A and B are shown apart, each in its own frame.
Chain A
């Protein structure tokens, strides 16, 4: 079983970014809100891409897909 906490970490970052976006929008800093959102998506991508690479690696070895 791979580590499960990454799912909840991503959800946490997502909710944090959503709230941050709203707060920054209320404060009138639109650009900062967009930057924060993009930063959040980048962090989540940073976690997800190696996981995806691992999945493709596993599929390649199991199904001999060379």
Chain B
């Protein structure tokens, strides 16, 4: 299982970050950023595989790829915004983190509007 080395390295990094936080808080922040990036890079392969399976299912189901594309985009935006917000909140910048999340919500809203419109149109077609 790959989770063991991952957690081990993360704990070691966390200890080093605590050691660094007294003298050099900025380097401690960079260290926690590196650990976060490291974890994601080691897991992204699996996300790619899951996305591929979803894509095949959608194709077989005959549903248009637009909806899956939108869902994937929203998940991607949500992930990156959360990543940035957590890192800046760790660094003590709560206000900046809130702004990042606010911007992400707006972008997700913009992406979701076409899907909502499509659903409404489908419903209207049903009504005689």
Inter-chain contact B76/A65, CB cutoff 8 Å: yes
- CB within 8 Å of A: which of B7-50? 9, 12-13, 16-17, 19-20, 23-24, 26-28, 30-31, 33-35, 37-38, 40-42, 44, 47-48
Beyond A11-B31, A45-B30, list 16 extra A-B contacts (CB 8 Å): A1-B42, A2-B42, A7-B9, A7-B35, A10-B27, A18-B20, A37-B24, A41-B27, A41-B30, A51-B38, A58-B44, A59-B76, A62-B48, A62-B76, A63-B76, A65-B76
B interface with A by C-beta (< 8 Å): 2, 5, 9, 12-13, 16-17, 19-20, 23-24, 26-28, 30-31, 33-35, 37-38, 40-42, 44, 47-48, 51, 69, 72-73, 75-77, 79-80
